[in-house]
Chain A
Amino acid sequence: MPSNVCYIESVRVFIGKLSETLGFTKKRTADIQLALDEICSNAVNHGSKSTESVVIIIVTVDKQFLEVMVRDTGDRNTTNWFTPERLAEIQAQRTPEGEGGHGLYLIECLTDGHKIQANNSGGTDVTVHFNR
């Protein structure tokens, strides 16, 4: 996906259709769509140098689970945004009155597991897991 917010809606629609086809409930499908929206938004807004960058999305369907990995190439201005310390700081600063910082919290709430790690491109891989 080109690293531009205008493409996130297409990804959200795709994962929604796939989730429905796999038999996820309507409520769970909405959770999956929201989680992927949040991850892709983070990748575009915090993990890309420009709209020329690319965000890679890998979807794995298993009998037991649906897993989605979103890979960005990193933004030199926000290097290390994914470090445990930075993530803990974002979580600690999050309040309902705040305008940002909710994405990671939602990912935690909506998934059956998630993993955030640095990749070889200088960016971040976010992997989320949904049990079937």
Chain B
Amino acid sequence: MARTELMTVRDSADIKIIDVMTDLSSYAALDLRKILDGLIANKVDKVVVNFSEVNHINSTAVGTLVGIAKRLRQNGGDLKLCHLGPPLTRTFNLIGASSVVEIYESEKSALAAF
């Protein structure tokens, strides 16, 4: 799979959903940041990131998501995350980011939370 296909963006009404299909070390975190920066530049303010295919995330990627959530909230929107497996939940909990970014079990519940 080409790197550009490892993260895709789709729509659900006025909400953008990013499907991440790669583990998130620092390199992939740069790609995720580029996509999210691009969405914000295009006036998108509601974003869901689906992590169902992700087994690893590092603190750089978590920090990126925290920063993006803060920017989206300043614009009146928000960032919501869904389908975090145990390794990702552990990383978010250790850092404390699970109290900063909203996390949902399913994509449906994340979308409904807007």
The CA of A123 and the CA of B99, in the complex, are separated in Å by 35
The CA of A110 and the CA of B100, in the complex, are separated in Å by 21
Of A45, A95, A96, chain B has the most CB atoms within 10 Å of the CB of: A96
| Nearest opposing residue in chain B for A100, CB measure | B63
1/0 per residue, CB under 8 A from A, across B84-111: the answer is 0011001100111101100000000000
Cross-interface CB contact of A5 among B26, B56, B90, cutoff 8 Å: B26
Are B26's CB and A106's CB within 8 A?
A: no
| Nearest opposing residue in chain B for A45, CB measure | B26
| Nearest opposing residue in chain A for B94, CB measure | A109
In chain B between 55 and 95, which residues have their CB closer than 8 angstroms to a CB of chain A? 55-56, 58-60, 62-64, 66-67, 70, 86-87, 90-91, 94-95
Cross-interface CB contact of B27 among A8, A100, A106, cutoff 8 Å: A8
| Nearest opposing residue in chain A for B22, CB measure | A9
The CA of A109 and the CA of B95, in the complex, are separated in Å by 10
Instruction: Determine the interface band of chain A, counting residues with CB < 8 A from chain B.
Output: 20 to 34
Nearest CB in chain A: distance from B55 CB, A: 8
The CA of A43 and the CA of B99, in the complex, are separated in Å by 29
| Nearest opposing residue in chain A for B67, CB measure | A99
1/0 per residue, CB under 8 A from B, across A1-25: the answer is 0000110110010000000000000
Q: List the A side residues contacting B56 at CB < 8 Å.
A: 12, 30, 33-34, 37
Cβ of B19 under 8 Å from chain A: no
Are B59's CB and A30's CB within 8 A?
A: no
Q: List the A side residues contacting B99 at CB < 8 Å.
A: 96
Q: List the A side residues contacting B96 at CB < 8 Å.
A: 95-96
Whether A5 contacts B27 in the complex (CB less than 8 A), given A30-B56, A99-B64, comes out as yes
8 A-B residue pairings within 8 Å (CB atoms): A27-B86, A34-B56, A38-B58, A38-B59, A41-B58, A105-B94, A105-B95, A110-B94
Of all A-B residue pairs in the complex, the 8 with the closest CB atoms, nearest first, are A96-B96, A102-B59, A99-B63, A5-B26, A99-B67, A5-B27, A30-B87, A37-B58
Other than the known A37-B26, A110-B94, what 14 A-B pairs have Cβ atoms closer than 8 Å?
Answer: A8-B25, A9-B23, A9-B27, A9-B28, A27-B87, A33-B56, A34-B91, A38-B58, A95-B96, A96-B97, A96-B100, A100-B63, A102-B95, A103-B60
